Amino acid sequence: MFCTLNTHKVDMDKLLGGQIGLEDFIFAHVKGQRKEVEVFKSEDALGLTITDNGAGYAFIKVPGWSGHRVLGPGQAMGPRENRQG
C-alpha cells in the first residue's frame, strides 16, 4: 500500500510524505479489487494521523485502540463504541 497526493495516477514524484494542505487529496493505492470510498467530514478534525517511518513510507495511525493502531490494507475504522482505550 502507498499513498499519492493530489493525483490518482501511480506517480512516484507525487508520493505522500511531505506537508499536507487543507485542499489536498490523498489517494491510497492498495493491491486487490478496485474500490471507491467517499468520506463525509462533519468535524474540524478528521481524526487520523498520517506519519512516515523515516524512510519515506507513509501510513495512517488511528487513535483509540490502545494508543495508536496502524491502518493497513483490508482494515477499516469501526464504530466509535467498538474502540478500546
Express each pLDDT in 14-66 by its tens digit. Answer: 666 556 677 777 777 777 787 777 777 777 766 667 777 777 666 666 565 45
pTM, entire model: 0.39
pLDDT(68) > 50: no
Residue 35 or residue 73, greater confidence: 35
How many angstroms separate the CA atoms of 10 and 29, rounded? 8
Locus of grid cell 493497513: 72
Find, among 85, 33, 43, the residue nearest to 63 by Cα: 85
The answer to whether the beta carbons of residues 47 and 71 sit under 8 Å apart is: no
Phi-psi category of 46—alpha, beta or left, where left has phi over 0 and alpha has psi -120 to 50? alpha
The pLDDT value recorded for residue 43 is: 75
